[in-house]
Amino acid sequence: MSLLWKTILTNVPWSDVLGKAPVIAEGAKKLWQGLGRKNGEAAVAEAEAFIAPDADHATRLTGLEAAQRKLRTQLLASGELIQALSEQNTQLVAQVETLRRRAHYQGWGLAATALLATLALLLVWQPRLTEFFA
């Protein structure tokens, strides 16, 4: 079984995985910081904190629009991270499927080789076996 794992681990494109790791880690960090707020109400409350309580409707609307733009930016960043993770997951699944097929073919090859070796041994040892049992 360890040979199978060795084969799997040697066929993974580690240069691609390691090359994308900093981008994914940075995206995950941004996502985690963005999700650190309980929900969107925290961003709205943050925007309202900068608006004077006696401000007119236009000022309040401008502040809320700024909060909405900030939330939209966080949502887009989260979407990009999810897309990157999805693409990497797809590549890994494809590699694992390829390795599974290879292992399947190797298993059949090993079985065929064992059968041929058994037949060859029987042909070589047949005269001696007939003498032994006779």
What does the pLDDT look like over 109-132, one tens digit per residue? 999 999 999 998 888 877 776 776
Instruction: Write the secondary structure of the chain as one string of H (helix), E (strand) and C (coil).
Output: CHHHHHHHHHHCCHHHHHHHHHHHHHHHHHHHHHHCCCCHHHHHHHHHHCCCCCCCHHHHHHHHHHHHHHHHHHHHHHHHHHHHHHHHHHHHHHHHHHHHHHHHHHHHHHHHHHHHHHHHHHHHHHHHHHHHHC
pTM value is 0.47
More confident residue, 13 or 94: 94
Enumerate the domain spans of the chain: 2-133
Using one digit for the tens of pLDDT, what is the confidence trace for 98-113? 888 999 999 999 999 9
Contact criterion met (CB below 8 Å) for 24 and 84: yes
pLDDT in tens, 45-77: 665 666 666 668 788 788 788 888 888 888 888
Q: Does 9 have pLDDT greater than 60? A: yes
| Per-residue tokens: 104 | 């399947």
28 pLDDT above the threshold of 60: yes
